[in-house]
Structure 1
Amino acid sequence: MTDPTVEHDVVAVGCGPFNLGLAALASTVDDLDLVVLEEQPELTWHRGMMFGDASMQVNFLADLVTLVAPSHPLSFLSYLHDMDRLYTFTVRENFFPSRREYEDYLRWAAARLPSVRFSHRVEAVHWDDAAERFTVRAVRGDGTRVRLAARNLVVGIGTAPYVPAALADLPEDKLLHTSRYLYRTSDVAAAGKVTVVGSGQSGAEVVVDLLGRNVEGGPAVSWLTRTSSFAPLDYTKLVLEMTTPAYMQYFHSLPEDVRDRLVGEQWQFYKGISTDTLEEIHELLYRRQLEHGLADVELRFGTTVESAAVDAAGRALLTCRHRDTGQAFEHTTDLVVAATGYRNRTPAFLAPVDDLLLRDGRGRPRVRLDHSVELAEGISGRVFVANAEVHAHGVSSPNLDIGAVRNATILNAVTGRETYRLPKKSAFTTFEAPRPVS
């Protein structure tokens, strides 16, 4: 059974923090009809890495709405007030919420947004030339099929865990991605040796957990990363100006090859490790010196894993290369934790309109400054993307603190007016070259 087609101004697919923020900002725009469709039955956020003491890496102002609408009823401060925690949060004097509290805030906001519809799996999107609308077909959790139409589509399905080819041949019982770490703690506890491949914040947090287990008599721990050091996030003030809307606009204006080079150079802005986590790791390593009989711990940077297999004894065997010397060596372990990040994914539901999306020289969607994808000539609708435009807008695109600005930009484009005022001055640094002397 399929319901009649229901018209909306905007259909957004996926309900992570970004599209949830879009729904939050849209909820106070009277003449805008927006709906968000989410396949899962409820909102969850990084449950596989929800360590009890894990903290956000952005402060509470980087919520769904505050950086463009500080008086919005769905701000983090409104959440704290509603939960009667505003005063204790103030006295706490730590304005970085825990990861668990941030997820609770997201769930609180979602519960107050009737435009967000869970258990709605989008199957296909088509372009209707006659109606000049995108038609979205979805199926609800009870099996009922629904059809929606809108001139504007926002795709915010998030990224998928990435396992590189060098590790892909390992069987499931020898390999897990950091996104599943807390779901596999029984496998971790049963292993004699656990090896983390890759660094970044997620890898470092797993190493903290493993070192804590090791100090208590748990498994041996190895940490291998190809980076040239266990590098910290660069959170110095003027460097952070390269994560502002001002820099994002400048980055978008650059040629494609320059943007690609900069993304490669700026990895430490988003793939580094917080200094607090690095200090915690060092403290655990120091504490180990006071104990005797613990299983070994090994840290190696500048190491590339080239392939992986299972040896005759049933253990994971990694073939590695020391990058400074080129020397190859083998590394044996019981369980590999892939701290290898996430990648954008192309959703199957966009297949019917794939030929309408214009692409750059490397096959990526050509994304305008307002976060809409360039479409084939004659298509009057718009497809916007959230957290799928690093190549066009820079490494700040996945940051939570850019979400409200991006969503305000999208809503301004959809409504054709300044529904939300965007920041005119977000950095002290001037990024553009001086005008040439005539």
Structure 2
Amino acid sequence: MANEQILDVIGVGIGPFNLGLAALLEKTKCRSLFFDKKPCFEWHPGMLLEGTTLQVPFLADVVTMVDPTSPYSFLNYLHEHKRLYRFYFFEKFHIPRTEYNHYCQWVAKQLPQLQFGFEVQNIEQTEEGYFRVTVYSYNEKKQNIYHAKHVVLGVGTRPYVPEKFQPFLGDRVFHSSQYLHKRETVLKARSITVIGSGQSSAEIFHDLFLKQPDYDYQLSWYTRSKGFYPMEYSKLGLEHFSPDYTRYFYQLPKQKKKAVLSNQSLLYKGISFTTIANIYDLLYERTVGNKTPSVHLQALTELVSIEEWNNHYCLSLYQHEQEKGMQIESDVVILATGYHPYIPDCLNGMMNMIEWDESGQLVIQEDYRVKLKNENQNHLFIQNGELHTHGVGAPDLGLGAFRNATIINQLVGKKIYPTYETNVFQQFGM
């Protein structure tokens, strides 16, 4: 495609959400290109542990919730791979994480508009109102310029590590997103400490606990949270991950939104019942005959500081209810400290044209448009960067297709994909 051609849309980043956008755009005449600096599609490769599953049903693939007849559905993926009967007898809604990643790779390979190995370096608006996008090709080792009517930012979130721990990052202190890449080194340690209270920390602890008899290390798990609590997974609780709740949340006052979000952590930050049960069952089995496994679990305890001592680390910890501190030694520290949204550097050329709220966050319209100071018919959209405006459903895979349908209907100026007003049983407001 010639660089000077004006595209209808450029996608920045190719995660599940922009992958779904590209797949759903196949039913339109939109000319599009999607760029990602990775060499191929990979979804959280450092956490594709055997035995782990998606925390949403398989229907939360990239297309089904707005187009169940799409050739890019998960069921069609199974059909193409001759796995339908195996899945039928599998009898589970929650599929292996590795299979979800393979499914997304299968979709990606069928969409020629996806360009991997290309990094979007800058986005700016021309006098005509189009977006001028500078893209670097790692293969060609050169920059290319593209123009588009619309841009969809789908860079998602990135691993978060508190600033005070960042100087220690390396092979033996690292974020949980790197776990699989570093596991071989980790298993050689004499002592390992996991920090965090979410699903990632639990899965890593369980994986290390399973392997402990073969490697004989001390294993500890600390969290500043009140306990190792399960994620909210009741059917009515799950209705918060719906277009209905998103619509309700968007209309709340800004200050009310902050208060609501601060009390909803267990809707998306807890541990699955299955993982907690697996850990407990293993603890029970390992203590048969009053044996004492070399493990330590402790909540209400925050990692305050890290110091490096003679090839290991001294960790200062603080128990909030007792108001007491202690120190432990550990060869490895795994920080399951979550993910935060961020503003990518490629938006530097548009900083003065974007509307920001008083907290320095993007002002995002209900239809996922980033509010620009000079509004025209060309728009900058965002995927999974609207937690502060749209609520807990922003990162949820089950709402990705709905958000993409909303964006596509604006791109083409008519309703290509239906979005329903009522999707759940309960009412969220008056």
Give the TM-score, by structure 1 length: 0.95
Q: Which blocks of at least 5 consecutive residues in structure 2 are unaligned?
A: none
1:277-426 correspondence to structure 2 within 5 Å: 277-290=275-288, 296-311=294-309, 313-426=310-423
1:274-308 per-residue CA deviation (whole Å, 9 max, x = no partner) reads 00000010011112113788762100001111111
Q: Normalization by structure 2: what TM-score?
A: 0.96
1:51 maps to which of 49, 64, 72? 49
Cα drift, residue 171 of structure 1: 4.7
Query: Aligned AA for 2:347?
Result: L
Q: Distance in 1 between matches of 2:261 and 2:214?
A: 40
The offset of 1:330, in angstroms, is 1.4
- Farther off after superposition, 170-179 or 65-74: 170-179
Of 409, 427, 430, the residue aligned with 1:430 is: 427
Structure 1 residues 374-383 or 244-253, which shifts more?
374-383
Q: Secondary structure at the match of 1:307?
A: strand
In structure 2, what is the Cα distance between the partners aligned to 1:403 and 1:216?
A: 41
Task: Give the direction of change, closer, same or farther, for the CA distance of 1:229–1:293 in structure 2 (3 Å limit).
Answer: closer
Q: Distance in 2 between matches of 1:344 and 1:392?
A: 13
**1:33-432 → structure 2 map (5 Å cutoff):** 33-129=31-127, 131-140=128-137, 141-290=139-288, 296-311=294-309, 313-432=310-429
Secondary structure of residue in 2 paired with 1:320: strand
Residues 214 and 294, structure 1, Cα contact 8 Å, conserved in 2: no
CA 1:172–1:4: 2 relative to 1, 3 Å: closer
Tell me, what secondary structure is at the counterpart of 1:176? strand
Distance in 2, matches of 1:102 and 1:172, equals 29
Cα shift at 1:91: 1.7
Deviation at 1:314, TM superposition (A): 3.3
> How far, CA to CA, are the matches of 1:242 and 1:292 in structure 2?
44
Aligned position for 2:26: 27
Q: Deviation per CA, 1:320-345, whole angstroms, max 9, x where unpaired?
A: 11111211221221110000011112
CA contact (8 A) 1:166 1:305 kept: no
Three-state SS of the structure 1 residue aligned to 2:187 is helix
Letter in 1 for 2:385: A
- 1:88 aligned partner, one-letter code: R
Q: How far is 1:28 from its partner?
A: 1.3
Structure 1 distance, partners of 2:307, 2:404, is 45
Relative to structure 2, which stretch is displaced further, 204-213 or 140-149? 140-149
**Consecutive unaligned residues in structure 1, runs of 5 or more:** 434-438
In structure 2, the residue corresponding to 1:147 is in which secondary structure? strand
Aligned to 1:436: none
How far the C-alpha of 1:192 sits from its partner, in A, is: 0.8
Contact preservation (8 Å) 2:287, 2:293: no
The 8 Å contact of residues 217 and 294 in structure 1, kept in 2 or not, is answered as no
Paired residues, number = 429
CA distance in 2, matches of 1:189, 1:73: 42
Go from structure 1 to structure 2 and tell me whether the alpha carbon gap of 1:294 and 1:193 turns closer, same or farther (over 3 Å shift): farther
Separation in 2, partners of 1:294, 1:231: 24
Does the 8 Å CA contact 2:78/2:84 hold for their aligned counterparts? Answer: yes
Q: Which residue of structure 2 aligns with residue 6 of structure 1? A: 5
CA displacement 1:345-390 (0-9 Å, x = unmatched): 2211110101111011211001111111111035542111101110
Cα deviation, 1:147-206, whole Å, max 9, x if unaligned, reads 211121100012111111342232524301111111111221111110001120000000
Q: Tell me how far apart the structure 2 counterparts of residues 41 and 186 of structure 1 sit (CA, whole Å).
A: 24
Letter in 2 for 1:13: V
Q: Which amino acid aligns with 2:381?
A: F
Given that residues 188 and 215 in structure 2 are in contact (C-alpha distance below 8 angstroms), is that contact kept between their aligned partners in structure 1? no
For 1:95, what is the secondary structure of its paired residue? coil
Describe the SS at the equivalent of 2:225: coil
The answer to whether structure 1 residue 18 and structure 2 residue 24 are counterparts is: no
Aligned partner of residue 70 in structure 1, secondary structure = coil
18-27 vs 38-47, which moves further? 38-47
| Distance in 2 of aligned mates of 1:295 and 1:126 | 58
Please identify, of 315-324 and 391-400, the stretch whose mean Cα deviation from structure 2 is larger: 315-324
Please give the secondary structure, in 2, of the residue aligned with 1:426: coil
Over residues 99-133 of structure 1, what are the superposed CA-to-partner deviations in whole Å (9 max), with x where a residue is unaligned? Answer: 1111111011011111111111111111001x220
User: For 1:425, what is the secondary structure of its paired residue?
Assistant: coil
Q: Identify the range of structure 1 (217-226 vs 198-207) with the bigger mean alpha-carbon deviation.
A: 217-226
Q: Distance in 2 between matches of 1:333 and 1:349?
A: 39
- Secondary structure in 2 aligned to 1:100? helix
